[in-house]
Amino acid sequence: MTIRESDWKVFKRLRVIALERLSQRILEECREVCSREGATAHERYGELYGLIHERNREMAHAFDGFSRSSAILHLRLIRAHDLLTEAEMAEFSEETRRVADVTI
């Protein structure tokens, strides 16, 4: 399903916000790993490496391949990561909100 032109414009703007939120969330997770007491530096490094690898895959899945024809799928993934507020979702048409709320 291709997204409406008006929703595409909203999506392009909100996608940037969602990407920034996910990036901030990941950085906070990294800080937690780095500051963990009771683990050696090498253990924290290994955990951080794994975390970044996993989060990078999640980020790529939700944000790479940016096109109008894939916008609904990407919007669903962004929603699954809880990266948009209800007020931001309300900017989309009813049709787009309905199809974006499908559980992945």
55 vs 3: CA distance, rounded Å = 27
Question: Which pair of structure tokens corresponds to residue 75?
Answer: 């919007």
Question: Which pair of structure tokens corresponds to residue 36?
Answer: 């963990």
pLDDT digit string, tens, across residues 54-79:
999 999 999 999 899 999 999 999 99
* 30: pLDDT strictly greater than 90: yes
Give the pLDDT of residue 101: 85
How distant, in Å, are the alpha carbons of 34, 54, 97 from that of 60? 23, 10, 22
Do 75 and 11 meet the contact criterion of CB atoms below 8 Å apart? yes
What is the domain count for the chain?
1
Give the pLDDT of residue 102: 57
Do 77 and 57 meet the contact criterion of CB atoms below 8 Å apart? no
Spell 58-74 as b/e; 16+ CB within 10 A means b: ebeebbeeeeeeebbbb
* 53: pLDDT strictly greater than 50: yes
pLDDT averaged over every residue in the chain: 94
pLDDT digit string, tens, across residues 74-101:
999 999 999 999 999 999 999 999 998 8
- Rounded to a whole number of angstroms, the CA Rg of the chain reads 16
62 vs 90: CA distance, rounded Å = 20
Range of the domain at 77: 5-100
